[in-house]
Structure 1
Amino acid sequence: MTGIASVEQTTDNRTLLLQGAENETAPPPPLLPKKPSAKQRRKARAKNAIKGTPAADPRIKITDSPSLGCVYLGAEKSPHGAELVDPHDAFSDEEIEGMPVVYVAATYGRLHIWRDRKGSWFRTAGRISIRLRDGERVIQVALFDGADEHDLLWFNSAIELLRRGRRKNPEWVRIASDWADERTFALVFTSRSYVDPYTTKSDAAKVFVCTEKQCREQVHEVEDSHTLDTLTRSVGKNFDYEIDIVKYSHLPNQKWHVDVSGGEMAEATPEMIATFVNDLNWMSIECANANAKECTA
């Protein structure tokens, strides 16, 4: 008799007891292997990649299979079906020219290297939008972690193209969201042509959005110093110098300090020396004030 009207599972030895049959022991069902997360896959790829290639950077997402959801210049709609428009329909050339450019660290998204249906490689390192920020209309660039100096140059050139006037083909979409008004736009074509990320090494310097409140730069190359102020002067044929107030960005708990460099500093008259000393004194006072401001913050 081998009826199986009910099944009970004990908690001690996980044997299956079948009613109306002898006690039989059955092995538990095999456990399916847990799929690695996207982060684990990126780390594994980076570990096995050629050192110095983008594939060796675990921050970067790489899609090997050709994308079927991309569009090219001249399209009428974005990959998501939104109509492509031109911000010049909403702003004058003067308004766009006067918009400040603001760089921010992207709060979502990841640097992505991918291929189109033809097999060509592309790189997406951030987003560009026209939006209100603290009550002011700005051109905002949100950089992904791992962006480099070439990405920065590409974004700057995209902004220059926007400021040159209306393009032959629209490249933007209007953003529809609770936080956006009717004059909020996002650039659709934010990917630049790239190389095979597995075989081509890159020596481009990585960049990051600066969070130092007193630094005049919005974006730095990694290990570049913060800069508060710079004074450059030439007071004679053979006497010129530059005075910088800087702070190391790659070391913790740093204070502002003064750096002095010069081309030639020869054949100086007393008046030249007095000008140099006055400039140095002025910059040293500004440096001391910057450090005092941080101590009281």
Structure 2
Amino acid sequence: MTSSGLRRDELAAFLRSRRARLRPAEVGLPDGVRRRTPGLRRQEVAQLAGMSIDYYIRLEQGRGPHPSRQVLAALARALLLTRDERAYLFRIAGESPPPSAGPSREVTPGLRHLLDAMTETPAYLVDAAYDILAWNRLAAWFVGDLSAVPADERNMIRWMFRQPVPEAHWNDPETLRFVRTSIADLRAAYGRWPEDPAIAALVTELLGVSPRFAELWAEHDVAERRPVVKRVAHPELGPLEFECRVLHVPETDQRLIVYVPEPGSATQAAFHRLAERVRS
């Protein structure tokens, strides 16, 4: 390691390993017929990153100058590095990783399949600003038919403070606990993503229209969401009790919220009946 924090040998090995795992088609290059080793050629990586082949070869051989942040960013793009890999590349080059652009709203196919596979468990996916991004069929019985709601209006925090409810609603200890934990989690996201326009706009809006939100926001509680037990008097299913389990998706800063009943409970039986009704 140099005095600048650059770990040349590790950087060289990492670049070689990432180059070897890529197929030309993944970066828009023809496969060719004379590839004796897997992965991209060095000149191809250099071309994709916009640098000289000699400079890139020296990086892979653990020599040459300290790569600039611009060079590292170009290499990360050329090698299709994930967010974690990009951060690692910067660190072994003696640089602090660049901040991520912001929380993701993309619903990956894996999460969509997972939601659909949970046929007897209500579940839905929210982003860091608590916009509901996806849901399964049972969740619609709790959050409504969101397919008929514009995407920019599917926000749980906004519903909490802008929908008209009886004053007694705010006197319920469980309701207040759920609201407080949601606000504390939103503030944690606000701290992680201070430049995110969606979170900033939501906070600004609610500070202006909801004195109750402003009061809770001023308490400065900060905590990522934890599981809580919820008791719900559902208009069709009757009294329900389940653990509201929050599964954090680190790579996107999303949360998968799942209503988990106790095995053998009346709530599990109610969810089963609901699933049969939905399937029929």
TM-score, normalised to structure 2, is: 0.23
TM-score, normalised to structure 1, is: 0.22
| Bigger share in strand | 1
Structure with the larger RCO, 1 or 2 (CA within 8 Å, 6+ apart): 2
| Bigger share in helix | 2
